[in-house]
Amino acid sequence: MAEVKLSIAGRQYSVACNDGEETRLLALGAMVDEKAREAGGGSAGLNETRSLLFSALLLADRLHDVSGGAPVVADNAQTSEKSSQLAEALEGLASRLENLAEKLEN
Higher-pLDDT residue of 60 and 76 is 60
pLDDT tens-digit map of 2-54: 999 999 888 898 888 889 999 998 998 898 888 888 877 555 566 777 777 78
89: confidence class by pLDDT, cuts 50, 70, 90: confident
Per-range mean pLDDT, top range of 24-38, 64-78, 87-101: 24-38
pLDDT value of residue 72: 46
Higher-pLDDT residue of 24 and 106 is 24
Query: Which residues, 6 or more positions from 52, have their beta carbon under 8 angstroms from its beta carbon?
Result: 8, 36, 97, 100, 101, 104
pLDDT value of residue 100: 75
What gap in Å lies between CA 42 and CA 87, rounded to an integer? 27
